[in-house]
Homo-oligomer: A and B are copies of this chain.
């Protein structure tokens, strides 16, 4: 899903001007906004790879979102608590930043490209919403085992296969599930010993039939 779908080259330029969008390129490993929350902006990743990380008062870092080409981030992040967010480039990245107010306050109606842009943004948000709901479903499961199984179910259903290729490290998975890594490893070991799964490298094969 592309934010600029149905918006041709020169109209895209007009649109970006209309919305007072700014394009930036950042070298890798830079914290480019450490207070996304207070800035009411929408960002679009044109190229690169970034992470949104939350840092609490103990200095614990939680991965909130990963951003790749065409991903959209911003505004909807809670501006209501004291935790800090960091937006970090993990590769050299190019992003477009737009003030959210510029998007919604623009009242003129005749510009096709503007209307398309709003609709595209809506569709992207719908997708993101689904991802958030998936994560909530996993997080609301009680116990590490149930979180893991729910995660496996969702992924395997999505990919249509019983073999799951972790898209990241086990450490990151533990963060995603919001559990202690060593405790998670212990549970994975249990699942293996009980014959419910097999693992090899970052690959997990589910040996049970659909779970719920």
Q: Which residues of A contact B (CB under 8 A)?
A: 54, 56-58, 62, 64, 75-83, 100, 104, 109, 112, 115-116, 118-119, 121-123, 125-130, 132-137, 139-142, 150, 153-154, 157-158, 178-180, 210-212
Contacts and interface: CB of A to CB of B under 8 A. Distances in A.
A120 B100 CA distance: 13
Nearest 10 A-B pairs (CB), nearest first? A57-B212, A76-B129, A140-B178, A139-B139, A132-B132, A122-B122, A125-B125, A115-B115, A78-B134, A78-B133
Contact of A126 (B125, B154, B179): B125
Most chain B CB atoms below 10 A, which of A79, A112, A126:
A126
B122 A78 contact: no
Contact of A81 (B64, B78, B81, B153): B153
Given A136-B136, A136-B139, 7 more contacts: A58-B212, A78-B134, A78-B137, A82-B157, A100-B126, A122-B122, A139-B139
Contacts of A121: 122
Contacts of A122: 104, 118, 121-122, 125
Contacts of A180: 142
A109 B11 CA distance: 15
Contacts of A137: 54, 78, 81, 83
A187 to B, nearest CB: 15
